[in-house]
Amino acid sequence: MAIKNKEKVGVVITAGGLGKRFGSKVPKQLVKINCVSILELTLQKFQNCSAVDFIVISSHSKYISHLEKIIFRKNFRKVKAVVSGGLQRQDSVWNAISCMLKYNPEIILIHDAVRPFVSNKIISNVIKAAREYEAAVPAVAPKDTIKISDKDGFVLNTPDRNILFAVQTPQGFKTKVIVEAFQKAYADKFYGTDDASLVERLGKKVKLVEGDYRNIKITTKEDFEYASHLYRS
């Protein structure tokens, strides 16, 4: 009996930021934790995941050659290309997806370069859910009570915390779905805060899978201190 070819999974790593909020001289994804850059830590997770077939990175044009040297030196064999980012994150993701289509992935994951503690379990579960439901994102319940305020800074109401979730990456999608979502967003001149929001606009349901509180996004100096602690532990 013939063996069916494995359906391919591609990963977009968004590394186009310049780290202005972080306050470093280099983009925060190139800042090192114990002599290893945050980007390298992130790439290692996907390089070592057997479910992932190839990776495309979006980067600020100023740092493309630098990233290519890291990829060559550290032998990140799954990285197929480093593409130039756009004006906004959504543009950078689309540039990477457009490049990735030549490799015919069935599933595309989109992950922040500055989430270096993503687990193999999360990656695998997002891929599995994306295959079954077409779109999936990892999420965790908020630990604090959430308030909604008016424009003057007064509390309007307190939503039920049991139905609120903080979304993480990687976000996973069937290729045809995420391509359609981006095309519609551009046709409508819409920019979302995450990739799943573009899919939601198609009227499709996005499946939530269990995230991890350690899967942090390093945005501030305080995040970096906590990340250093996580790395040491």
Reported as a single tens digit per residue, the pLDDT across 32-59 is 998 999 999 999 999 999 999 999 999 9
Predicted pLDDT at 37: 96
Predicted pLDDT at 11: 98
Reported as a single tens digit per residue, the pLDDT across 192-230 is 999 999 999 999 999 999 999 999 999 989 999 999 999
Rg for the chain, CA atoms, rounded: 18
Assign domain 9-232 to its CATH architecture.
Answer: Alpha-Beta Complex (3.90)
Residue in the block written with tokens 């532990």: 233
In the three-class reduction of DSSP (H, G, I as helix; E, B as strand; rest coil), residue 173 is classed as: strand
Given pLDDT bands bounded at 50, 70 and 90, which one contains residue 27? confident
Residue in the block written with tokens 């599933």: 107
Q: 59 has which bridge partners? A: 15, 84
For the chain, how are helix, strand and coil distributed in percent, rounded to 5?
Answer: 40, 20, 40
